Chains A and B, each alone.
Chain A
Amino acid sequence: GIQVEQSPPDLILQEGANSTLRCNFSDSVNNLQWFHQNPWGQLINLFYIPSGTKQNGRLSATTVATERYSLLYISSSQTTDSGVYFCAVTGNTPLVFGKGTRLSVIA
């Protein structure tokens, strides 16, 4: 099945800093989503981005499907950005999640 690798596994940022999270996947995909699991455990959909670039406020994402990777950019990070960021992909299988990047933003 599809393998999804996320890096880095852990990231600590000072409030106001920028960061880039990476997601590599092993096969062609029809769907790629980025999620944020907040400290309360809720899984929030950030982007549906099988290809191209999208922006939503301080967050943006780029997927290069031909090279099998996606990037999530967080600019001017805030403490409320803390949590785990998951990348999930699907080809002909149900959505497969990576292990996540745990982000801690400190004031």
Chain B
Amino acid sequence: QSVLTQPPSVSGAPGQRVTISCTGSSSNIGAGLDVHWYLQLPGTAPKLLIYGNSNRPSGVPDRFSGSKSGTSASLAITGLQAEDEADYYCQSYDTRLSVGVFGGGTKLTVL
């Protein structure tokens, strides 16, 4: 059971907008710790998609955006494309556990 909770799966049709939630607690996201998002294609390593809650590394399309409020964070993907089909993970830090923590991952299916 992960410290950060993500829905196991989400889906959307090409061109649509989807959001993936990441729910934490007062000892991680709610404590003001930053959230990062990673994309993982099958058989490959995670790739940084969003850092510091809402910042995109160079090369990441602006179709991807992140936000944070209270004890939760969200990743939004607009203009869904077939190539977006992957697993998505959120990551933060937990002050009670004193460890970096990941969400359990969300599998995005493009219908």
Verify that A and B bind, or say they do not.
no
Q: Which residues of B pack against A, CB within 8 Å?
A: none
